[in-house]
A and B are shown apart, each in its own frame.
Chain A
Amino acid sequence: MLDFPRWKVVSIWTLLAVLCALAIPTFLPESTTANWPFHPRVNKGLDLAGGSYLMLEADTQDLANTRIEALREQIQGSMRNGTPRILIGDISTRNNQISFMLRDPSQVDAARERLLGITGGGAGMTGQREWDIQVVDSSRFVLTPTQAGLTQAVKTAMEDATDVVRRRIDELGTREPTIVRQGDNRILVQVPGLQNPQALKDLLGKTARLEFKLVDTTANPADVVKGIAPIGSQVLPYPGNPAGPPFIAVKRSVIISGDQLADSRQAFDQQTNQPNVQITFNAIGGNRFARVTQQNTGKPFAMIVDNKVISAPNINEPILGGNAVINGGFTVESANQLAIALRSGKLPVALKVIEESTVGPDLGADSIRAGILASAVAVALVVAFMFVTYGRFGLYANLAVVINVFVILGVLALLKGTLTLPGIAGFVLTIGTAVDANVLINERIREERRRGRSVVQAVELGYKEASRTIFEANMTHAISGVIMFILGSGPVKGFAVVLLIGIVTSVFTAVTFTRMLVAQWIRREKPKTINI
């Protein structure tokens, strides 16, 4: 046991030195380390740095509805436009199902064939169907979304939504946001340093589905107010309607949608100097826009964002250049926000803020100061206490503890970990338990000495017997650490990470490292007796 070959000594020191070195960039200002080729850094959590944390949840019911609505339109289109033409009627989308009648029951097989074409073979790679197709009473089709299909749809939508959220936050120009998918339908957003998350929430709350539709001028204004629109049209809210009631009837069919956007910018109206949003269509969108405006010159069309009409100007002349302007009583800020939302794409599913917290910079700074001070005092107390109790052996343990602190920081930096306030508490606890390992060892050595063993034997047995106990004790610690890591959110997780890293590093420093120091000392000095 006291036999530590040179290669072992060298590798232990090298390993510890490297891990400690990894902690160095964390202590230097970012401007200094920015140019280093490799500069791992422990990030400060929001509770330390100040900043905002948002948990967004996707409205899966909303997504399911959109999906059903989209399929309904597809069915209508394909039955009407395919050959032979299949006449359907009585189509409805109640109870999360789509159902419709065939006018001619003899077309059941043809209709099913066509439905299979639309709904696709299987959902993703699982091969399960996305929709269940049933025929009731020989002529009524009922389509029900399958769970597999829905799950797949949510998954795809969440992936897209995460991208959109990232683009929007990047547009705000905030530094180092963290955007992570959580669970099936959540997105966690952390933005350091953002004290007022209002703008962020406003931005993320927008689905930003942009649609241009023709205004239904035939609608009876009295009916529109009651929410009744002619067939083929719908009533939409129009909060800024200069002509009167905050509602307007528009044709259901979409002339052009936000998918065809190439760009959107906040700008100013040249005549009124009002802020507006200028949008540019891509080639396909531009062509279609030109065609529709040519055909409908003189008629009003509605610019709709998230099912709300922003403005409904007349088409004075065909718009050929692929550009359009949305006016509608914007402030610079709201126009800019809409521009960002439009250019970052629409969210495939509406997101809701379900959890939010913001920490001001002062509190964060206070917490850091307090945390560091407390940690330093804790280390100092423990070090002093260990020294008066175990003398030289305490000194070795202390060296292990101090190195351990840097090693944990180094590993945390390597893993791109984040240090939170509970993380600091985890640190303090790790220091405490790391010391426990040395206490176990040293107490064993004391015992063995009392039993009359020689120095070498006592040390050897002390380490051997204590190591088993240390292993078992740390295993139990690790069990609770792993559970905390898996189930915990926010503060609990931050704590668990430091704890788990600490368990591994502290066993190494407290057992292997100190044993090496003790062994080297005994070989060098060959003491007849030890003061422990």
Chain B
Amino acid sequence: MRLLKIVPDHTNIDFVSLRSWAFGLTLLLSVLAVGLTAVKGLNFGVDFVGGLMIEEKFPTPPDQDKVRTIVDNLGVGQASLQQQGGPQTLIIRLPVQSGADEGATNAVVKKVEAALGQAFPGATFSRYSTVSGKVSGELIRHGVLAVVLAVLGIGLFAIVRFEWQFGVSTIVAIVHDLLMTIGFFALSGFEFDLNIIAAVLTIIGYSINDKIVIDDRIRENMRRYRKMEMREIINLSVNETLPRTVMTSVTILLALVAMLLLGGHVLRGFTAAMILGIVVGTYSSIYVSSSLLITLGLRAEPEGIDKPRRGGGMDNAERVAPRER
């Protein structure tokens, strides 16, 4: 049986020479993402802004204007509507109720329920949640803290296990991935809720995974080919690990696309974020973080430290690098 090879043997793409283009593109996209987020803002879920979210399921697709009028007439604040999953399901969001005690929010849920039930017989809620303003502030703080700590923790790990340049380039690449993801949420208007923080942390984890694999190979090749130019080492390493990078990305994407299409609407934003994160993370591993190592001045032989050669008995001469066909 002939086996599938996504990346042909002896692939040799000069990634490093593309880096000025890649840096430019990366910078441009990052600026765009930041600008877009600043202008359009994120569609924060109740987790983060506080307030009330009711998901109502109607027996037939409802007239949204009618729903809006009914809810607005209850005098509980401006309702924002959003279709979810199918035309029969609407998400109704209301701001934090003034008066702020729990009785107020509960009363609103009941009121909305009753009014909609009357206007649309057979309509039922499928879920609702209320979050007080205080808690939502905490959730934001914790969410941001989790992301920052994860980035720092992983960066620190890379610095301890490798050289400082690896840590820095990794953190830069992660920040890039984060900006892209946030920009995507600003652009798409998907709800940004607590689940998305989990997705973002996963993206960080995955993207790092990718970078560590390449970094690991660069380190290995630095020890193996001590006289080789840094840019050659990086090209060689990225190419050597390319089959794995592509293979893994494709498998995870397969799993996530299945999730996106079949996993139900509750997780749609979550999986969309992860899919984007994996594409962006793969890109940044190949083009951003490894090339950045040259810019940061990584040398094959750091002064003063003579690292022991790996794999005693396996001399370079014995090895046949794939480039020397």
Which A residues fall within an 8 A CB radius of B?
A: 47, 55, 198, 201, 205, 352-360, 362-363, 366-367, 369-371, 373-375, 377-379, 381-382, 385-386, 388-391, 421-422, 424-425, 428-429, 431-433, 435-436, 439-440, 443, 446-447, 450-452, 465, 468-469, 472-477, 479-481, 483-484, 487-492, 495-496, 499, 531-532
Given A421-B264, A421-B266, A443-B241, 9 new contacts (CB under 8 A): A357-B127, A374-B261, A378-B254, A382-B254, A389-B4, A476-B205, A483-B201, A487-B149, A492-B201
Chain A contacts for B135, CB-based, 8 A? 55, 354-355
A327 to chain B, nearest CB (A): 25
Chain B contacts for A476, CB-based, 8 A? 154, 157-158, 205, 208-209, 212
Contact of B251 among A355, A435, A443, A488 (CB under 8 A): A435
Would B198 and A422 count as touching, CB distance under 8 A? yes
Contact of A480 among B132, B150, B250 (CB under 8 A): B150
Would B247 and A389 count as touching, CB distance under 8 A? yes
A422 CA to B131 CA in the complex, in Å? 19
Would B125 and A382 count as touching, CB distance under 8 A? no
In the complex, the chain B residue whose C-beta lies closest to that of A430 is B255
B284 at the interface (CB under 8 A from A): no
Chain A contacts for B263, CB-based, 8 A? 370-371, 373-374, 424-425
A477 CA to B208 CA in the complex, in Å? 8
A473 CA to B202 CA in the complex, in Å? 13
B279 to chain A, nearest CB (A): 14
Contact of A483 among B57, B146, B208 (CB under 8 A): B146
Chain B contacts for A355, CB-based, 8 A? 129-132, 135
In the complex, the chain B residue whose C-beta lies closest to that of A469 is B216
Chain A contacts for B145, CB-based, 8 A? 487
Q: Would you give 7 A-B contacts (Cβ < 8 Å), ordered by A?
A: A357-B127, A360-B57, A370-B264, A439-B251, A476-B208, A480-B204, A490-B194
A18 CA to B210 CA in the complex, in Å? 33
Chain B contacts for A205, CB-based, 8 A? 102-103
Would A360 and B125 count as touching, CB distance under 8 A? yes
3 tightest A-B contacts by CB?
Answer: A357-B129, A370-B264, A432-B252
Would A487 and B130 count as touching, CB distance under 8 A? no
Which of B150, B204, B240, B259 has the most chain A CB within a 10 Å cutoff? B259
B48 at the interface (CB under 8 A from A): no
A532 CA to B216 CA in the complex, in Å? 23
A100 CA to B107 CA in the complex, in Å? 44
In the complex, the chain B residue whose C-beta lies closest to that of A503 is B205
Would A378 and B266 count as touching, CB distance under 8 A? no
Would B244 and A532 count as touching, CB distance under 8 A? no
Would A367 and B262 count as touching, CB distance under 8 A? no
Would B205 and A385 count as touching, CB distance under 8 A? no
B177 to chain A, nearest CB (A): 13
Would B194 and A491 count as touching, CB distance under 8 A? yes
Chain A contacts for B274, CB-based, 8 A? 425, 429
With contacts A371-B264, A391-B1, A480-B204 known, is A359 near B127, CB below 8 A? Answer: yes
Would A358 and B127 count as touching, CB distance under 8 A? yes
Would B198 and A488 count as touching, CB distance under 8 A? yes
A381 CA to B208 CA in the complex, in Å? 24
Chain A contacts for B130, CB-based, 8 A? 355-357
Chain A contacts for B149, CB-based, 8 A? 483, 487
A378 CA to B105 CA in the complex, in Å? 40
In the complex, the chain A residue whose C-beta lies closest to that of B318 is A451
In the complex, the chain B residue whose C-beta lies closest to that of A401 is B251
Would A473 and B322 count as touching, CB distance under 8 A? no
B197 at the interface (CB under 8 A from A): yes
Would B202 and A499 count as touching, CB distance under 8 A? yes
A353 to chain B, nearest CB (A): 4
Chain B contacts for A487, CB-based, 8 A? 142-143, 145-146, 149
With contacts A432-B256, A492-B194 known, is A443 near B243, CB below 8 A? Answer: yes
Would A389 and B5 count as touching, CB distance under 8 A? yes
Would B255 and A382 count as touching, CB distance under 8 A? yes
Contact of A472 among B205, B206, B212 (CB under 8 A): B212
Chain B contacts for A477, CB-based, 8 A? 205-206, 208-209
**Which residues of B in the span 121-148 have a Cβ within 8 Å of any Cβ on A?**
124-132, 134-135, 139, 142-143, 145-146
In the complex, the chain A residue whose C-beta lies closest to that of B314 is A461
Would B146 and A488 count as touching, CB distance under 8 A? yes
B169 at the interface (CB under 8 A from A): no
B161 at the interface (CB under 8 A from A): yes
Chain A contacts for B102, CB-based, 8 A? 201, 205, 352-354, 356
Chain B contacts for A198, CB-based, 8 A? 106, 110
Chain B contacts for A390, CB-based, 8 A? 3
With contacts A370-B264, A475-B157 known, is A363 near B132, CB below 8 A? Answer: no
B4 to chain A, nearest CB (A): 5
With contacts A363-B55, A447-B322, A491-B195 known, is A381 near B254, CB below 8 A? Answer: yes
Chain A contacts for B197, CB-based, 8 A? 488, 492
Would A360 and B126 count as touching, CB distance under 8 A? yes
A425 CA to B201 CA in the complex, in Å? 13
Chain B contacts for A381, CB-based, 8 A? 254-255, 258
A447 CA to B236 CA in the complex, in Å? 13
With contacts A425-B270, A440-B244, A447-B322 known, is A357 near B128, CB below 8 A? Answer: yes
A487 to chain B, nearest CB (A): 4
B267 at the interface (CB under 8 A from A): yes
B303 at the interface (CB under 8 A from A): no
Would B124 and A360 count as touching, CB distance under 8 A? yes
Chain B contacts for A352, CB-based, 8 A? 101-102
Chain B contacts for A440, CB-based, 8 A? 213, 244
Chain B contacts for A450, CB-based, 8 A? 9, 320, 322
With contacts A354-B102, A359-B127 known, is A492 near B198, CB below 8 A? Answer: yes
Would A422 and B195 count as touching, CB distance under 8 A? yes
A223 CA to B92 CA in the complex, in Å? 48
